[in-house]
Structure 1
Amino acid sequence: MWSVWEYLGAAMPTLRTLEDLEREGLIVPDPRLEEAAQSLAIALTPDIVALIDRADLANDPIARQFVPSPRETEIAPEELADPIGDEARSPVKGIVHRYPDRALLKPIHVCPVYCRFCFRREQVGPGGEALSPTELDAALAYIREHGEIWEVILTGGDPLMLGSRRLRALIDALDAIPHVAIVRIHSRVPIADPGRVTAELIAALKPQRTQLWLAVHCNHPRELSAASKDALRRLSDGGLPLLSQTVLLAGINDDVDTLASLMRALVAARVKPYYLHHPDLVRGTGHFRVSIERGQALMKALRGRLSGLAQPTYVLDVPGGHGKVPIGPSYVGDDPDALLIEDAFGKQHGYPG
C-alpha cells in the first residue's frame, strides 16, 4: 500500500494523531485506541514510518514499538506510573540523583518518536514540562553544589531535540563545573530522525574540558537504516564515542537471531552495545514484557555467538528508585567444594576454588 504522501510526491510530516495513523493504514479504528493515545503521545517520524512492513502490521517489530495498541489499556496491578522511582530521587525539578557520583538532568520532555513502552510515558509528549530558564539554573546549581557528581546524564525526553544553540549553552554550563568529568546523552534521534544530526549539532556536542558520550536507543536491526548508519558515522567521525541501549521486548527482539544481528550491526556502525534493559513495570505494557529467565537464556545464547565487543550488560532497574543491577546468567556453580564453571556452550568444567 502506498502512502498518500508518496502518491502526492510530497514529504510526509511526523504522524501525531490517530487520524494520521488511520489515513496511513497503520491502525483500524478501535475505541480503546483513544485511551491509549491519551496515556502517551503519538509521534512517528517519516524515517520510522518508512521502516514499517505494512503487509504484517500486527507482527512488525517497528510498528509495534510506535503505533498505539488497544492492549495499552490493560493495566496490571503491579504496574506503576513511576516504575523506576524518579520522583523519589528528584531533589530539584529536572534532576534525578540516584547514585552518588552521577545525576540525571532532564531539560526537555519532547521526543522525535514516542515508544509505546516508555517508562516516562506519564511525563513525555507535546505540552509536557520542559525546564524554564529559572528551573534550569536551579538544576545546574544543584550539580555545582554537589561535588560528588562526576557524571551528568542528559535525558528527558530527548536532549537532541533541543536546538543546537541551546544544547551548546547547556553543555558549556556543565563543562564549567570543575567536578563534572563526563557528560552522557541518551537519544533516539540518530535512529528516528537522523536528518537532525547536522554539522552544527555535532559541533554543539563537543565540550572543551569534559568528555561527552552518546548513548543511542536502538531495539531492532531494521532500525539501522542507511540514513541512521550515516548519522552514526558522522557522529563517530566527529569524535564522539557511541554506546547503545536496547530494551528487551516480547515479539520484537526476544530471540537470539534478532539480538545477535542487532549487536553485530551496532558494532559495525562503531556503536558499543552497553545495556540490554529488562522491560520496566510501566502501566499498560504487559504485552511487551518477557520473563527474566527468558532474558538470561538469551544472554547465555549470545555469549556463545558474539565476541565480547558485542555483548551488552543485561540489567533490571529495581522499582522504587533503587537503581540498575545486572541480572545476567551465572556461569559459576554454587558448590564451594566442587567449583564448576559453565562455558559459553553449556559444558561444565572443574576449577580450583
Structure 2
Amino acid sequence: MKQTGSRGFRAYTSKHLDELLKRAGLDDGERLRIRAVATVLPFRTNAYVVDDLIDWAAVPDDPIYRLVFPQADMLPADDVNRIADLLRGGASTAEVNAVAHEVRMRLNPHPAGQLDLNLPRIGHEPIPGMQHKYPETVLYFPKQGQTCHAYCTYCFRWAQFVGEPDLKMASDDVHQLTGYLKEHPEVTNVLFTGGDPMIMGEPVLSRYVEPLLGLEQLESIRIGTKSLAYWPQRYVTDPDADDTLRLFERVVESGRNLAFMAHFSHPREMESPMVEKAVRRILDTGAVIRTQAPLIRSINDDPATWQTMWRRQLSLGMVPYYMFVERDTGPQDYFAVPLARAYEIYRDAYSSVSGLCRTVRGPSMSATPGKVCVDGVAEIAGQRVFVLHLIQARDPELVGRPFFAKYDPRATWLTDLRPAFADRFPYEPAIPSARLSA
C-alpha cells in the first residue's frame, strides 16, 4: 500500500476549545470554567477523535469526550473560579499563567521521583530525557516526541505538555543513550516514551531506533503510544506509513522483540475499520502489540468495559497486558477509583474472559518502589487486609514477594496504605533500633 500526499491530520488546541465546546451545547459560564481548567492542564485533540470517536449527542457523559476534553470540576472549585474570574476580567496572559503555575505545583507534576530518582548519569552528570528505573530497563524520551496526537485528561505525564521547561524530560542525543547502554550491559530493553514517540515521522524515529540495533545486549525495544486509538492513519494512509513499518521489520529482523505498547482506554477506540487495518499492518512486521490503560472513573470504571476491551484486543491479535491504577498526579481526585473497587472491577472482568485474555495484570500502581499489584482482599488472623506484590521493583529481590496492607475502603494509592503484620512495607528502609527504643 503506497501512501502519497499529506497526512490530513488536523490538531485542535486550547485556542479551538471554546468553539468545540459549543457543539456540546454548554452555556457561557460552563465553557469559561472549562477554559480555566485548560490553562492549568493541557488540551489537544484532532479531527479524527472529534468527528469519528466522540458521540456529541451524549456529551458531556460520552466517555471519549471525557477522555480528551477538560471538565469544569476536574480541579478544586476555588482554583477554577479564581482563574475564570481572571479570564472574564481580561487579565493578562502573564497573570493567568502565574496562577495556573501555582495550581500545577500542587498537583504533584512528577510522581515517583521522575525528575531525580530515575535519572541515569555519566560520571556525576545526569542525562536528561532518560530514566533507569529498573536494572534491565531504560526509558528514553525523544525530544521530537514530546507531544501526542491527542492528550488524555487523566495522563500522568501532563506536565510534559504545559509549556514549563523545568517540568520537561527530553533528549535528542542518541549517542548519550547508546554510550550509557554500553556502560550498563545489564540493560536488555529500551522503552521509547513521551509524549508519544509515534508523533515523529519515520526519518526522525529511525535516527533514534537504528543505532540501538548494533547493541548485542538489547533483547527488546518498546514503543509506548496512544496512536492506534487517536490516529491509526499513522500506519495506513500517512505518507511515511510504509517506511515506518519497514523500520519495524528491520528491528524484528535484527533479532529483537519489538513490543508496541498500545494504550486503549475504551472499546470505542477499537471500533474503526482503520484501527483494524493499522493493527494488522503492524503485526505483519513481526512486532507484538501489548495493550494497557489505567482504570478511570467515569470513563472505564466497570467490568463490562474491560471485558469488552480485552476480548476485542484478543480478536485483533493484540495481547492484554496491564490495568493500571490512576497515578497520584494531576486531577487524581477526579479520576481515581478506590483500590478495593479497582480490584473488584479487575476480578469481575478477568473472570469473564477466556484464558487467552488472562495475560493482563492488575490493578497495578506504578509507584516509587515499582509496580505494585493489588492481588485481592483477605481476612487473615481476624484482620481484613489487601494482599499485594511487586510485579517490578527497583530492588529485584522484592519482585514477586507478597506483602499486606491494612484494608482501607477509601485508599486510592500506595501512600494511602499502612502495613499489616509489620512495622513497615518491605520496600521501606528499616527503622533504626535507637528510634525503636526511644
Under TM normalisation by the shorter chain, which class is it?
Answer: 0.7 to 0.9
Distance 1:163 1:212 in 2: 18
The equivalent residue for 2:110 is 82
Alignment pair present for 1:52 and 2:27:
no
The equivalent residue for 2:384 is none
Distance 1:193 1:313 in 2: 26
Distance 2:338 2:229 in 1: 27
Residue by residue over 1:264-322, the C-alpha shift from the partner in whole angstroms, topping out at 9 and shown as x without a partner, is 01111111100000111122232211011111111221232111221321143354x32
Pick one of 189, 192, 195 that aligns with 1:151: 189
Secondary structure of the residue aligned to 2:44 is coil
Distance 2:41 2:204 in 1: 26
Secondary structure of the residue aligned to 1:141 is helix
Secondary structure of the residue aligned to 1:41 is coil
Alignment pair present for 1:34 and 2:63:
no
The aligned amino acid for 1:158 is: D
- Map 1:262-273; keep pairs closer than 5 Å: 262-273=309-320
Distance 1:314 1:69 in 2: 27
Distance 1:297 1:76 in 2: 32
Contact kept? 1:110, 1:125, Cα under 8 Å: no
Shift of 1:247: 1.1
- Map 1:59-208; keep pairs closer than 5 Å: 59-74=61-76, 79-87=107-115, 88-91=117-120, 92-107=127-142, 108-124=145-161, 131=170, 133=172, 135-197=173-235, 198-206=241-249, 207=251, 208=254
- Map 1:214-293; keep pairs closer than 5 Å: 214-224=260-270, 225-293=272-340
Shift of 1:27: 7.1
Residue by residue over 1:169-197, the C-alpha shift from the partner in whole angstroms, topping out at 9 and shown as x without a partner, is 22111111221111011111111111111
Identity value in percent: 25
Contact kept? 2:43, 2:69, Cα under 8 Å: yes
Q: 1:233 to 1:26 in 2, by over 3 A?
A: farther
Distance 2:104 2:379 in 1: 36
Structure 1 gap ranges (5+): 1-10, 336-353
Larger Rg over CA atoms: 2
Q: 1:295 to 1:282 in 2, by over 3 A?
A: same
The aligned amino acid for 2:208 is: L
Distance 1:252 1:245 in 2: 15
Q: 1:21 to 1:235 in 2, by over 3 A?
A: farther
Contact kept? 1:244, 1:271, Cα under 8 Å: yes
Aligned Cα RMSD in Å? 2.5
Give TM-score scaled by structure 2 length. Answer: 0.68
Shift of 1:326: 1.6
Shift of 1:26: 4.3
Structure with a larger share of its residues in strand: 2
Distance 2:9 2:56 in 1: 16
Size of the aligned set, in residue pairs, is 322
Distance 1:161 1:72 in 2: 27
Residue by residue over 1:85-142, the C-alpha shift from the partner in whole angstroms, topping out at 9 and shown as x without a partner, is 2112112211111111111111121111101111111113679757454x33323322
Shift of 1:164: 0.4
Shift of 1:12: 7.8
Shift of 1:145: 1.6
Structure 2 gap ranges (5+): 1-7, 77-102, 121-126, 236-240, 382-438
The aligned amino acid for 1:196 is: R
The equivalent residue for 1:4 is none
The aligned amino acid for 2:267 is: P
* Structure 1 range deviating more: 81-90 or 95-104: 81-90
Residue by residue over 1:199-228, the C-alpha shift from the partner in whole angstroms, topping out at 9 and shown as x without a partner, is 221112231232211010001110112211
Secondary structure of the residue aligned to 1:119 is coil
Give TM-score scaled by structure 1 length. Answer: 0.84
Contact kept? 1:195, 1:231, Cα under 8 Å: yes
Secondary structure of the residue aligned to 2:23 is coil
Shift of 1:334: 4.7
- Map 1:301-316; keep pairs closer than 5 Å: 301-311=348-358, 312-316=360-364
